[in-house]
Amino acid sequence: MISEVKKGIRGKKKQPGSLVSAELWAEFFRGDRLACARLITAVENHPTIGPEVRDHLIPRLNGAFRIGITGPPGVGKSTVTAALARRTARHDQTVGIIAVDPSSPFTGGAFLGDRVRMQGLSGDDHIFIRSLASRGGHGGLSPATPLVADILDAFGLSRIFIETVGVGQAELDVLGCVDLLILVLQPGTGDGIQALKAGILEAADMFLINKADLPGTETLLESLRFLFEISVRPAADGVPPILTASALRNEGLDDVYTEMEKRIRALLTSGKYLQKRRSLMESEIRDSIRRDLWDRFSALTKAGEDIPAAAERFIKNRRSPYPYIRRLCAQVKIQHRTKRTGREQSR
């Protein structure tokens, strides 16, 4: 696969220094679903092509909304996502679904696959479904998720659902890229609320008690309301909407869809959508510079290789690491070059 990337993913007309062929980009921007799927596979398998892919995508982003659907396994996230996607498509929106599956220990690929989880949606032209494997072993989202969402956005889809496997820390991190987060719970998990990561209760914009056909819905509603009364969230955020539905019986989901769209409109008019884009862009710039500086620093000082042994030494000998850190840092001089290269000036 690496050699495929070196040749240029799909096709011969690779631009110098580029990893994705011009042909693939052209097919993608013409709206070819297969090209879209290939591009997603490429970013999943080769995280280093991220910056190049962003270069191409950013001028073509349409401002799709990213909706995170999270919650413990088995509460009905896939069923709810499929139901909301169907409603969204019926309202003339184009929909992308990113469903994250646990990695198979055998193939490293998506375990459950698109078809099983989202039965009945795959024939719909308005809906593009993609499973991503939750690599990294934490059961979280695939690290490529935000980039895949960008791909679907530039592909022209207007609502992108991102469905997680569980509700761990890894998910919370990547869910930072969603505009609206829906936490799905089910009756009989009242005690389970305490077990949820506190962050998820603060981050969720909407709560959905699914499987309202089962006993215990009222009890869970009361527990949630009580939780917000004793303020797990900043008072300014107010009490979030708590809705109930039965995805299996197709009940209550029109209200969930209506509330979702209402919140999306509010995000637009309040300027919060733009604010989020700005803050994500800011983090991307900072993170990318940090990575680049660390790579260069590490290459010069061999710090990456030395640190594990050094850490062990400092713990064993009860010594502060700071003399070591100062010595390492003193080996490298940062120089500010104001004169730009010819290539940069011509941009």
Residue numbers at the binding site for ligand GDP (CB under 6 A) = 73-79, 210-211, 213-214, 246-248
Longest dimension (CA), the chain: 70
Using the minimum distance from each CB to ligand GDP, give the nearer residue, 53 or 185.
185
Using the minimum distance from each CB to ligand GDP, give the nearer residue, 63 or 74.
74
Using the minimum distance from each CB to ligand GDP, give the nearer residue, 76 or 140.
76
Residue with tokens 């709810």: 80
Using the minimum distance from each CB to ligand GDP, give the nearer residue, 99 or 154.
99
Q: Quote the least distance from Cβ 306 to ligand GDP, whole Å.
A: 44
Q: Quote the least distance from Cβ 232 to ligand GDP, whole Å.
A: 22
Using the minimum distance from each CB to ligand GDP, give the nearer residue, 77 or 126.
77
Q: Quote the least distance from Cβ 211 to ligand GDP, whole Å.
A: 4
Q: Quote the least distance from Cβ 80 to ligand GDP, whole Å.
A: 7
| The pair of three-digit structure tokens given for residue 191, joined into one six-digit string | 């005690």
Using the minimum distance from each CB to ligand GDP, give the nearer residue, 35 or 167.
167
CB proximity list for 308: less than 8 A, separation 6 or greater = none
